[in-house]
Amino acid sequence: MSFQSDRWIREQAVNHRMIQPFSERQVHDGVLAYGLSSRGYDLRVSSEFTEFADVNSAIIDPKAFDGRSFASVQARSVIVPPDSSAWARSIEYVRIPWMY
């Protein structure tokens, strides 16, 4: 499946509940915007983050992460330090169509 137009995204979201909650236009809430735009749909992320930082300076096995390297953070914004990453969940629930 290739990238889809904003019309297609709107139709799928309104008629088939592809994105919930769905905003039909860009909403500027402070610095970041979310909603439907001419370049697709911008999601919001929740205030719950999981931050990964290798504080133990260990060799990282991507198939067996050490749980001590993760920190749960609840904040409006997070500054991600160098050599680390953060994961967040989206506020919108997205049903991705399965197409061949």
Digit-coded pLDDT (tens) for 47-99? 888 887 666 666 677 788 777 778 788 887 777 777 777 888 899 999 987 76
Whole-number pLDDT of residue 1? 62
- For residue 36, pLDDT beyond 70: yes
Work out the number of other CB atoms within 10 angstroms of the CB of residue 68. 10
Which range, of 11-15, 43-47, 64-68, averages the lowest pLDDT?
64-68
Distance between CA atoms of residues 71 and 52, nearest Å:
7
Domains of the chain plus CATH, in order, are: 6-94 (2.70.40.10)
Distance between CA atoms of residues 2 and 8, nearest Å:
12
Among residues 71, 67, 12, the alpha carbon closest in space to that of 36 is found at: 12
Whole-number pLDDT of residue 61? 76
- Which comes out higher in pLDDT, residue 15 or 61? 15
Whole-number pLDDT of residue 55? 62
The overall pTM is greater than 0.75: no
